[in-house]
Structure 1
Amino acid sequence: MDFKLEVVVVPVSDVDKAKQFYTGLGWRLDADFSRDPSLRVIQVTPPGSPASVIFGTGVSAAAPGSVEGLHLVVDDVEAARADLVARGVDVSAVFHDAGGVFHHAGTAARVDGPDPERRSYASFASFTDPDGNQWTLQEITTRIPGR
């Protein structure tokens, strides 16, 4: 039985501001539905992603800006960072983790620059949406077998 991640819900405080931010990243607007003032659902999809992001009014009880650890996989973290910067996004410098496996929470153990060996899964950059939901770019050039 396959279990495919299809949608991630991101809590936001200003739906229109979030819509402008995410579509400004070049993400496809899939839906903007409202049945009544208590429910508005917006769905956007990053380029090349099989999974989408939903936000809106009445779709999450979580505090706006409380989501951490969302990863966007890219072939070239420096090029992806440059694309976001060109779109006006405040993106961290490219970094790798001092431990060399996966990045620590927050900014702990960040080392400037991409992984010195440019290993897949080991170079990152990060940014937040207007509410503070945290996104991480992760460079993957060669997948682990079975992925």
Structure 2
Amino acid sequence: MDMKLEVVVIPVADVDRSKDFYEGLGWRLDADFPGADGFRVVQLTPPGSACSVIFGDGVTSAAPGSAQGLYLVVSDIEAARDELARHGVEVSEVFHDAGGVFHHAGTKDRVSGPDPERGSYASFASFTDPDGNGWMVQEVTERLPGR
């Protein structure tokens, strides 16, 4: 049976500020539904993605900014980084990990610039939303077998 990840809930403090931030990135607004007693659900989808994010009032009990390791996969890390910067996002420089397999948590073992061999899955950039939810942008140019 196929199981597809379609929605990730992210905790935010200010729904309208977050909605403006993600719409400012060019993400599609799928829903903004108010409910009783201040309940509100906002759903946005990154361009080309089958998975959306949801946030709102009364949607999660997680602390705002506590979502980390959210991934956006792109075919050109430098172009993606430039686009995020053009949208006003404070985005890290492109980096790769000293170990070459995956990146360490935080900024440990980050090496400036894309992977020297431009290996697929090996170059990154990072940014946070206004609450501190952490996003990684990863360059994937060739999928591993079976993917």
TM-score normalised over the length of structure 1: 0.99
CA distance in 2, matches of 1:31, 1:70: 21
Pair 1:104 & 2:121 matched = no
2:26 aligned partner: 26
Pair 1:49 & 2:40 matched = no
Superimposed CA distance per residue, residues 81-140 of structure 1 (whole angstroms, 9 cap, x where no aligned partner):
000000100000000000000000000000000000000000000000000000000000
Q: In the TM superposition, what are the counterparts of 1:69-108 in structure 2 within 5 Å?
A: 69-108=69-108
1:8 aligned partner: 8
One-letter code of the match for 1:83?
E
CA distance in 2, matches of 1:37, 1:22: 25
1:144 aligned partner: 144
Give 1:36 shift: 1.9
Superimposed CA distance per residue, residues 31-59 of structure 1 (whole angstroms, 9 cap, x where no aligned partner):
00011243100000000000000000000
RMSD of Structure 2 on Structure 1 (CA): 0.5
TM-score normalised over the length of structure 2: 0.99
Aligned pairs, how many? Answer: 147
SS at match of 1:3: coil
CA distance in 2, matches of 1:142, 1:100: 16
CA distance in 2, matches of 1:3, 1:75: 24
SS at match of 2:17: helix
Unpaired runs of 5+ residues, structure 1, are none
CA distance in 2, matches of 1:72, 1:25: 12
2:116 aligned partner: 116
SS at match of 2:41: strand
Moved over 2 A (4+): none
CA distance in 2, matches of 1:41, 1:91: 27
CA distance in 2, matches of 1:44, 1:27: 6
SS at match of 1:73: strand
One-letter code of the match for 1:91?
V
CA distance in 2, matches of 1:87, 1:35: 31
CA distance in 2, matches of 1:17, 1:74: 25
